[in-house]
Structure formats: structure tokens, C-alpha cells
Structure 1
Amino acid sequence: MRITQRLGELPLGSWHWRLLAIIAVGWAFDAMDTGIVSFVLPKLMGLWQLSPTQIGMIGSVGLIGMAVGAALSGTLADSMGRRKLLAATMLIYGLATGGCGLAWNYESLLVFRFLVGFGLGGQVPVAVTLMSEYSPTKYRGRMIVLLESSWALGWLAAAVISYLVIPQYGWQLAFFIGAFPAVWVLYVWKTVPESVLYLVKKGKLAEAHAIVCEIERSLGVPCGPAPTAADRSEPVKSSFTFAKLFSGIYLKKTICLWVLWFGLVFSYYGIFMWLPTLLVKSGHSMVQSFEFVIWMTLAQIPGYFTAAVLVDRIGRKPTLAAFLILCAGAAYLFGHAATWNEILLWGCLMSFFNLGAWGLMYTYTPEMYPTEARASGTGWAGACGRIGGMLAPMVVGMMFTGPDKFSLVFAMFTSVLIIIALNVLVLGEETMNKPLEDTAEEKAPGVA
């Protein structure tokens, strides 16, 4: 049995859950950093006398960094390895988050936010690629959605820290707490192995075999056979270039993923980066807005778990499209909510479906590309999404000129979500239960 086949057919066990937990910690701090910024912005608006355009720029500059980081790290991970890039990007955003707490004015904060975004955007495609390549085929969708669910835990931590820390101890301490990944990276480097699929593509079959044997032993499975002569004579494929993403069988996939990423990231950052500020400007107190966001964040958790159950049962495409359409409906009703209870109900449902869709998108994206381009394809899709996220805070800042514009903002998000749902239904393809190597352009006999 080939090395990659052995890896994909392993039973789901403690080794996989441990890897998921390790990567999820970094993912949660990614969310915590993003969440802390959304809570700090209303404070800085008054403290530094910032305009709505400047507030939007603080959110957008981090997303510019994310776009650059996602594109570069995905490409580098396909040439240098997943493990190195995972550690490097985690270290960058951890140190830069601590730097945000040292920011002395608007301009210095912009610089630190760009660096944070570079590290955060770089970590995501590498982390999801690595987790996809180690997950058993049968459970891959579930594992990626659960990885993304740690985002809700990170955002919840941000809300709680901001609620307890910012009013009493100041906004700087919240950023210093968010610098923890700079320490966590030491444990990641020590415990997380390089991707087996990457090693096989690089011809490092002995190293790949040793890692799979270690996993098999930890799960109580007999170690499989050593690489054969056929494995070792695997022909070297031509390098996968950026241009290939828009040619041949990849053109439709890339268009589908880029539209999906742009629209979903646009809706998420436009809604959640501005939400505390939108609520305050609509007449609610800052304490009320913090409490509301905590409830919305809690609603994300069952959204992720529901997506995790459905993704490996009814498929990626129908589940993702359904979550996007239902999120669109909730966003429209949220924009027209008249009472606090209505705001809470539709806001929680909007959060439930939006973040569930994120987990599904992260499952879907790496499954569309071969190993030699998986991180690159995921990274460039993520970069396109970050452009949407970069534009969204500025668009909302320009649109929201008074309480009467609240419904208009969310009508816009409703339209965006419906468009990307139709995009998935028309251009998307089903990838449930397909081995990752089935996404390759061509397969030679005996390829591992």
C-alpha cells in the first residue's frame, strides 16, 4: 500500500486530535487578535479622535497584510515545507500583536497591524493545508470544520478579555495578552511534523515512511511496508505556477474559490469588525454591544458543529450553499430588527451560519488542488478574500452615516451572500470522500 494511501485510510485517533488541538491554539489566537481590534476601535475613536475613515483603515491595513502573507506563505509552503512556514508566520503575528500594545499613535498602529496581518494571513493557508493532509479521508471535512471552530473560541476570548480588561486596565494589555503565539511557536516547532504528502512529492520517502509508521504505532495499527522501488522511481512533475491556476481544469475551480473567498470574507469583516461600533452609533451602549457580541460568538459554536456533522454526510457543495443562503436571510432580518430581542435573535443566526460557512470553505479549498499546489492555491484564494476583507470596513465606513443607514448596510451584505451561494451552486464541484491525490492533474502508475 502506498504511503499516502496508508495515511488517508488510518482510523481517526488520539494522534489526529492532538495535532488538531496544537494547530487550533494558533488559529484561536488569530481570531482573538482580530476580535480585540474590533473592541479596541471604539475606544481609540474617542481617545485619538479618529474619523470613521481612519477606523476603517486600521481594519483594512491588517487585511492588506493578510493578503500579502497568504499569497507568499502559500507559495513558499509548497516549495519549502508546511512546518517551517507555520512556525514563522505564528512568530511574526505574535510579536507584532505585542507591538500593537506599544503603539503611540495612529501611524505606528497601522505599521504593527500590517505586520500582524502578514503573519495571520500567512498562517491560515499553511495550517489548513497541513491539517487537511494529515486528516483521514473519511473524516477530513469534520476535522477542518472543527479546526475553524477554534476561531469562535478565540473571538469569545477576545470579547471576554475586552469586556474585563479594556475598561479597567486599558487597551494595551489586551494586545499584550494576544502576543502569546510568540511563545506557543516553540511547542509547535517541537511537536508538529512536516507534511507526509509534501515529503513524498519532494522524494523524501524514508522520512515520510517514518512519520506514517509513528502515527500507525500510536493508533495501534501495524506499520506498513517500506517504500518500494516503484515509489522511488516516481517521475518528477513540472512545477506548479500561478498561471496554471487560471488554465485547464483549474480555471473553473479558481474562479469559484476566489469569488467565494472574496464574498465571504467581505461579509465577515464588514459585519464583525464594525459591529460594536455600529451598535454604539445606533444608540446602544458600549457595554450592551460587548454583551451582544459575546452572545453572537457563542452562537458560532453550534454553527461550526452543525457544519462539521453535515459536511461529511451530505457533502461540501450543498451544505456550503445552504449556510450562505440562510446567512443572507438572517443578515437581511438583522438589518431590519426593531427591538433588542430581534437584534439578538437574527444576529445570533447570522453568526451561526456565517461562521459555519467559513469552516466549510476551509474544508473545500485545499481539496481542489494537488499537493504541489495545495498551499499556493489556498493561499491565493485567501489573498483574494483578504482584498474583500480590506474593502469591507472602508465600504461600511462610507455607507454608515447615520442610524437610518443600518438596514442599507445589511441589505448589501445580503446581496453579496446570495451571489456567492449561486457561485458555489453553479461553478462548484463535490469533493466529499475523495483522496487528496485525486485532485492531481495526472497520476502515474505507482505514485505514492
Structure 2
Amino acid sequence: MQWYGDISQSERRTLWSCFSGWALDAIDTQVFSLVISALLATWGISKGQAGLIGGATLVAGSLGGLLGGILSDRIGRVRALQLTVVWFSLFTFLSAFAQNFEQLLALKALQGLGFGGEWTAGAVLLSETINARHRGKAMGVVQSAWGFGWGGAVLLYTIVFSWVSPQWAWRVVFALGLLPALLVLYLRRNVEEPPRPKATSAQPGKKPGVFAIAAGIFDRSVVRTTLVGGVIGLGAHGGYHAITTWLPTYLKTERHLSVLGTGGYLAVVIVAFITGCFVSAWLQDRIGRRLNVIFFALCCVVTVNLYVFLPIGDTAMLILSFPLGLFSAGIPATLGALFNELYPQGVRGTGVGFCYNFGRIVSAGFPVLIGHMSGSMPLGAAIGIDAGVAYGLVVIAALLLPETRGRRIDAATASAARGGSSSSADPAPAARG
């Protein structure tokens, strides 16, 4: 963490504001999975209905990420971050007053719009504020906030459900979701908006429309970046969902392992995720974005196939959970820096939002495909094949992009989209971390 002493006070304030927003976002989002049992008992809803709420939240989060990117290009990074934090906090709070399944479904979907937009706005804000030498490390550290928030959700759930009866405890947990909105007060006082380019149109001072901003990422100068970046997002999320959706079912139903439901397993996964983000944060500023993504993608393929083909028991599974969680965290911890460095400032938020969230939406097909494939082959083999295909897409797409480490993104040009070298890349050794 020596690099932390090299950044300015303004950079530190921005770093911690984005870290806090993402951690609080994770608390509000992850707590739902912990209160499902209470909802099943209180309302008598089915597991399928509970799954529909979770799925609707994730899909809305992807749409929110797309909209959040456009919004940050339209009204500014800090204002977009403020709006999205207030949005997801408000609808988490309102979820506490839902009276039936339909109301909770609608409120959680609206909450998802906010948490998806918050990541995009925060990632762009941080990338434009932090020094190019340390951008990868800062983005990786912020990504680790999800793990800390996940742990915070478990702690909050444990405390509230220890003191309040289950039929009311889940409402208390959701009501506390309003607290992240207080972060906006800090943002307004301490975080500065990155400089924006001056208007060069025939009508100086007039902001481009929403549709014009959205269409900008398909301009001829950057469309290649948009398409290749979308494939990386698809592969990264497809591999992750293939593993997290079906691997627990495989290990529990076909391997009959019992450790999956224990607190020890959850603790290992959370710690592994945080560790993976920190390892990726350090590594991507040393070896570059492309090589880092390729390294973690290949490690994910190897680890998941060890899971599904080795005859492992509870202890071995628990040990293997750590490298699997670590490697799966390494890719998303790199994408924030990589995607931001590929786009010019005017469409950066929109481009980052698209590349990251397009993949989240389309990747829903990977778990479905595994379900179909398992009808004609063992479930473990289907998981291994799908994860291999998904992460293979990441490797191929990464090879089609330029290396962006150390790039001064305020001067990023269209040459990045064409796969060539950019004059905005900082060739100095310091830029390599």
C-alpha cells in the first residue's frame, strides 16, 4: 500500500467515497439472499418467487449500469453518483414497507436500477481522478468493497435477527438501507467533479442529448472497442454465473458435500473475493490489463475443472474454494480500469456502462445452457465446458485490445479503438506501477 501515500488528498477522498458507495451497495443487495427464509415463512411465497425477485434485481441492475453510464456523461460523474446512491437507498428503505410479493418485486427491481448505476458512475469518477500510475490498484481496491459489504450484510443480518423476530427483522434490515444516502452529504462536500472538455459544437454550452450520447459508443472511431469490450463483459459474467449458479447444486446433490451451508464456507468465499481484488489490483499495474485478465481467466478455467472432475471431499472443497473465489474476483477487479482507459471522455461513462452491463444481461444464457446440457451429460462436465467457453471468450477478446496501462485517459484517442498504440499512453517506467 505504499502507493496510497503517493496520491493526493483529493484522490484519497474520491477513492474512499467510491469504496464506501460500493460497500454500502453490496450490503443493501446481498442482504436479500439472507432474508429469503424469513420471507418464505412470513408470506408463504415459493422459492421460485423469491428467485424471481433476485433475478429481477440483477436484470434491473444491468439496465441501471447502462443508464448510469449515460447519465454520468450527461450530468457529470459526481452528480450521477449522488443520484444513484440516493436511488438505491430510497428503494431499499421502501422495501421494508412492502405488503405482498408484487410490491416487493417492483421495489427491488427499482433498487437494482440504482445499484447498477452506482458502480458505473463511481468507476468513471475514480478513473478520471486517480493518477494513471495507480489507477489499477485503486480500482481493484474499490472492487474489493463488495466483499467487505457482503461481510457487513452477514453481520447486520446476524445482529438484527438476534434481537428482532423474523417476521419483523427483515423489514428492519431493509429500513436500515436508507443510511447509505448519508454518503451523499460527504460526496457534496468533499469530492470534486473531474474537468470536462469544453463544448465544440455549433451551440457551445449545450449538452448532447441522451440518444446522441448512447449512439456515440457505436461511432466508427470506437465501435470496435465497444464490440470487443462487450464480449469481455459477456465472458467474464458468463463464467461467473455458470460457476455460482450451478456449482453449489452440483457439489451438494451429486457430490453430497455438506460444508456448503456452513458459515466457514461463506467466510472463505468472502475472504477469497477480497484477496483476489487486492492481488488483481497490484498485478494489473505491474503486468498490464490484458495479461492480467488473461491470467485470471485461465486460472478460473483450471480451478473450476479441478472442482468438477477431482474426487474431493468437504475439506478439499473448502480449500479449493479459496483459489476459485480469488481468481473469479480478479477479472472484474480489472475491468473498471480497462474499460475506462479504452474510451474518450465524452462517451466514457456510456462505454464503460455498456461493456460491463451488456455482458451481465446476455450472460444469463450460460446458466440456462448448462441446465439444457446436463440433460445429455453429467452436470459437472456441463459446468466445466460452459465456464471454459465463457472465459475463453475473455482471453480471445483481451488479445484484440491494446494495452492501456498508464494511459492518461483525459487524452484518450480513437486509436485505442483501432487496436494501435496511443500517444496518450505514458511510456515512463513510473506509469507501470
TM-score, normalised to structure 2, is 0.81
2:164 is the counterpart of 1:176: no
Asked if 1:301 is matched to 2:296, the reply is no
- Does the Cα contact within 8 Å between 2:130 and 2:138 map onto a contact in 1? yes
Q: Any residues of structure 2 matched to 1:216-365 within 5 Å, and which?
A: 241-269=213-241, 271-272=243-244, 288-336=261-309, 338-365=312-339
Change (3 A) 1:104 1:376: same
- Residues 392 and 120 of structure 1: CA distance in aligned 2, closer, same or farther (over 3 Å): farther
Quote the offset at 1:321 in angstroms. 0.8
> Is the 1:324–1:420 contact (alpha carbons within 8 Å) kept by the matching residues of 2?
no
| Paired residue type of 2:397 | V
Task: Return the alpha-carbon distance in structure 2 between the equivalents of residues 414 and 274 of structure 1.
Answer: 11
Amino acid at match of 2:61: M
Would you say the 8 A contact 2:301–2:388 is kept in 1? yes
Which residue of structure 2 aligns with residue 76 of structure 1? 71
Q: Secondary structure at the match of 1:313?
A: helix
Contact kept, 8 Å, 1:78 with 1:373, in 2: the verdict is yes
Tell whether 2:105 aligns with 1:105. no
- Kindly tell me: are residues 172 and 263 of structure 1, through their superposed partners in 2, closer, same or farther at Cα, counting changes over 3 Å? farther
Match of 2:353 among 379, 383, 388: 379
Retained in 1: the 8 A contact 2:273–2:326?
A: yes
When the two chains are superposed, the root-mean-square deviation of aligned CA atoms in Å is 3.4
State the Cα deviation string for residues 61-106 of structure 1 (Å, max 9, x = none). Answer: 1122112222222112112111111101100101111223333332
Shift of 1:161: 3.1
Secondary structure class of the residue paired with 2:192: coil
**Structure-1 residue corresponding to 2:428:** none
Seen in structure 2, the aligned counterparts of structure 1 residues 380 and 303 have a Cα distance that, compared at 3 Å, is: same
CA distance in 1, matches of 2:45, 2:131: 49
What does the per-residue CA deviation read over 1:230-280, in whole Å, with 9 as the maximum and x for residues that have no partner? Answer: xxxx99998864344234342221122111112222343454477778777
**Higher RCO, Cα 8 Å, sep 6+:** 1
Q: Aligned pair in 2 of structure 1 residues 96, 235: CA closer, same or farther (>3 Å)?
A: closer
Deviations 1:198-254 (A, max 9, x none): 2x3459xxxxxxxxxxxxxxxxxxxxxxxxxxxxxx999988643442343422211
Cα deviation for residue 304 of structure 1 reads: 1.4
- Amino acid in structure 2 at the alignment position of 1:12: I
Distance across 2 between alignment mates of 1:271 and 1:346: 13
* 2-structure distance, mates of 1:132, 1:247: 22
Q: For residues 71 and 431 of structure 1, do their structure 2 counterparts lie closer, same or farther at Cα, with a shift above 3 Å needed?
A: same
1:158 correspondence with 2:149: no
Shift of 1:383: 2.9
Structure 2 residues without counterparts, runs of 5 or longer? 416-433
CA gap of 1:46–1:143, structure 2 versus 1, over 3 A, is: same
Is it true that 1:415 corresponds to 2:388 in the alignment?
A: yes
1:16 aligns with 2:2: no
2:399 maps to which residue? 426
C-alpha deviation, 1:19, in angstroms: 1.8
On the 8 A contact 2:13/2:190 being kept in 1, the answer is no
TM-score by length of 1: 0.78
| Number of aligned residues | 400
Deviation at 1:366, TM superposition (A): 0.9
Check whether the contact 1:245–1:254 (CA below 8 A) recurs between aligned residues: yes
Matched with 1:56 is 51
Q: Secondary structure at the match of 1:19?
A: helix
Residue 191 (structure 2) aligns with: 192
Query: Aligned letter for 1:345?
Result: I
The one of 32, 39, 45 aligned to 2:27: 32
Please give the alpha-carbon distance, in whole angstroms, between the structure 2 residues aligned to 1:398 and 1:110: 27
Pair 259,373 (structure 1): closer, same or farther in 2 beyond 3 Å? same
Change (3 A) 1:386 1:158: same
Confirm or deny: 8 A CA contact 2:28 2:177 kept in the other structure. Answer: yes
Structure 1 residue identity aligned to 2:31: I
CA contact (8 A) 1:57 1:394 kept: no
Query: Given the alignment, which residue of 144, 148, 151 partners 2:143?
Result: 148
Report the AA paired with residue 181 of structure 1.
P
